[in-house]
Amino acid sequence: MTSPTQQETLGFQSEVNQLLDLVINSLYSNREIFLRELVSNASDAIEKLRFAALSDEALYDGDAEMAIDIDFDREAGTLTIRDNGIGMTREEAVNHLGTIAKSGTKEFFGALSGDARQDSQLIGQFGVGFYAAFIVADKVTVYSRKAGTPVESGVRWESAGRGEFTVENWQRPTRGTEIVLHLKEDARDFADSYRLRGLIKKYSDHISTPIRLPQEGENAEGRETVNAATALWLRNKQDISDDDYKSFYKHVAHDFEDPLAWVHTKAEGKLEYTTLLFIPGRPPFDLFERDSKRGVQLYVQRVFIMEDAEQLMPRYLRFVRGIVDTRDLPLNVSRELLQRNKAIDTIRGASVKKILGLIESLAGGDDYAKFWAPFGRVLKEGVIEDHANRERIAKLLRFASTHDDRAEPAVSLEAYVGRMKEGQKAIYYLTADSHATAKASPHLEVFRARGVEVLLLSDPVDEWVVTHLTEFDGKPLKSVTLGKLELPGDEPDKDDADEAATPLVERLRKALDGKASSVRKSTRLTDSPACLVGEDHGMSANLQRILRAAGQEVPPDQRVLEVNLAHPLLQRLDVEPDEDRFAQLALVLFEQAVLAEGGRLEDPAGFVQRVNRLLVDAAA
């Protein structure tokens, strides 16, 4: 080169170095996936060009025949993957091949254990993309030129994968990207036509652009296409194998793992569209980030239009990956236009129903936990967001329950209703900050004694679920910590009798004035001395805690203290002559009730002093 190429050596972002270490050390046994990753990138680049050319045909620059070409040189030990897609500018090469822009990157590296085997599992979940080249190459050279830029604005990028890379300006006659892998000694067997053909068939058959190898034979000069080279979703279902679907999923989702399930539909009628939607096998890293992406891609007449088309999936199905291809949108459709488009609304409505149907079929099988464990918390948001499908989503929910006391949420509302006792009017639940707290709550005592099942909810989102899902199958959902109870077998009018306060209850009301809104005889307790109960439509203690933790104003907690008059502590209180001591004991009784439901005391040190004083007295 004669012109000044402005060569620069730059360091990789530290996460890239970590990723490279991992890639090289942990993917050794699965080396061949490098090709799938690079072909997938080449295909993305071609789709991006097709899209850009919709509004600027000149970008094709006389070459609109899109292809991915693979070449190899056995002697030199090189393998080349070339596309005539969108290409990269120098700046883009530096940014895209030297840093990781993916959301959840920090979380991912935080989650690594240092244990090679575990981490190799994680890395599949994260995806390695371009860096997979370094599994088989000890040096990688990338030549690229962005479509629509002049020949002299090409770039050459090179790295041995150890901490740094170089970039320089490069004359490049053709647009697009060429990646040259200098194969490691033990990876030279990849420079082989038969081997490459097999890998392309295995991993990249579904790529809709032709992937071409040099023709075989004596005087062969041309190229032959190795993959099926049609959009997979347009083929007939009976011609698509499970493996085809799985590899397509890995391409669209940038995932290494197989999907859990998929649904492929063609709609023909007023609207014409095809959807191919997947539920991943594992949750993406950013599932719980507020603005995490929704992974459905929009195609119009087979042309890729955009990723993460949020109008295609509601937030609560943000884990779904896949594509929607339709004829009923203009090719130049923008995100803004999608927001108020009838066709899109119809397609989204139908896609949601398809996915719910798919989840229903999983729920009918033995492996529903595989779906519920990673995605259940997200699906629950659907009860809050999606009025139209609320009942359908409600049937898909699973909870822990006193039925078997297991922490795994496995009880459906239908199963609960099927087990309801004769005369039971409500579906009972308890919310708490953990399953252990929920399980041990004194509020459950009478339910356990009477054999009435209670759902144990310990996800923060559950509090919102129960405020939106007020009934199921005609039965109200009722918190066991709020309001008066009416259990099967209770006499209807006994409430009034309870209100008639005993002298002890009167004394307690006075002693706890300002702490509890009132004191009454409990119908809930069999073993514990006391518990706190909110108003019928009040906020549970758990919700108050969640809101406070989120920095929100919550009105002061004034609930009723229910006391178990049969408990020895209450009997002891009843005969306490010293008013001062009575007040101390009453306060401890109240504070215990707060602790038993997993709450925080206003004055923990005071509580400890009070208890100690009582212990000393008792020991004396």
Residues that bind ligand ADP (CB under 6 A): 41-42, 45, 83, 85-88, 96-97, 127, 129-131, 177, 254
- Which of 131, 372 has the CB closer to ligand ADP? 131
Find out whether 43 and 68 touch, Cβ atoms under 8 Å. Answer: yes
Reduce the secondary structure of 126-176 to three states and give it as a string: HCCHHHHHHHHEEEEEEEEECCCCCHHHEEEEEECCCCEEEEEEECCCCCE
Minimum distance of ligand ADP from residue 282's CB (angstroms): 16
Cα-based angle 463, 466, 472 (whole degrees, multiple of 5): 160
- Which of 177, 351 has the CB closer to ligand ADP? 177
Minimum distance of ligand ADP from residue 233's CB (angstroms): 20
- Which of 105, 351 has the CB closer to ligand ADP? 105
- Which of 283, 460 has the CB closer to ligand ADP? 283
Among 593, 592, 586, smallest CA distance to 508 is for: 586
Find out whether 452 and 421 touch, Cβ atoms under 8 Å. Answer: yes
- Which of 49, 359 has the CB closer to ligand ADP? 49
- Which of 69, 83 has the CB closer to ligand ADP? 83
Minimum distance of ligand ADP from residue 321's CB (angstroms): 13
Reduce the secondary structure of 504-543 to three states and give it as a string: HHHHHHHHCECCECEEEECCCCCCCCEEEEECCCCCCHHH
- Which of 86, 541 has the CB closer to ligand ADP? 86
* Strand duo 455-457 + 471-472: pairing: unpaired
Location of structure tokens 């002049």: 150
Report how far residue 277's alpha carbon sits from residue 265's, in angstroms, rounded to the nearest whole number.
Answer: 9
Minimum distance of ligand ADP from residue 227's CB (angstroms): 17
Supply the Cα-derived Rg of the chain in whole angstroms. 32
Find out whether 225 and 212 touch, Cβ atoms under 8 Å. Answer: yes
- Which of 251, 524 has the CB closer to ligand ADP? 251
- Which of 143, 428 has the CB closer to ligand ADP? 143
Find out whether 156 and 170 touch, Cβ atoms under 8 Å. Answer: yes
Minimum distance of ligand ADP from residue 304's CB (angstroms): 14
Location of structure tokens 């659907």: 382
- Which of 303, 565 has the CB closer to ligand ADP? 303
Q: Which letter does DSSP use for residue 502 in this model? A: -
Minimum distance of ligand ADP from residue 452's CB (angstroms): 52
What count of residues does the chain have? Answer: 620
Which one-letter amino acid corresponds to residue 595?
L
Cα-based angle 418, 421, 427 (whole degrees, multiple of 5): 70
Report how far residue 383's alpha carbon sits from residue 466's, in angstroms, rounded to the nearest whole number.
Answer: 9
- Which of 173, 364 has the CB closer to ligand ADP? 173
Minimum distance of ligand ADP from residue 326's CB (angstroms): 25
Point out the residue whose Cβ comes nearest to ligand ADP. Answer: 129
Minimum distance of ligand ADP from residue 15's CB (angstroms): 11
Minimum distance of ligand ADP from residue 44's CB (angstroms): 6
Contacting residues for 312 by C-beta, under 8 A, at least 6 apart: 294, 296, 298, 324, 344, 347, 348, 351
Residue 410, sorted as left (phi over 0), alpha (psi -120 to 50) or beta, turns out to be: alpha
CB atoms within 10 A of CB 433: 18
| Phi, psi of 236, rounded to the nearest 5 degrees | -70, 140
Report how far residue 316's alpha carbon sits from residue 199's, in angstroms, rounded to the nearest whole number.
Answer: 36
Minimum distance of ligand ADP from residue 261's CB (angstroms): 23
Minimum distance of ligand ADP from residue 157's CB (angstroms): 10
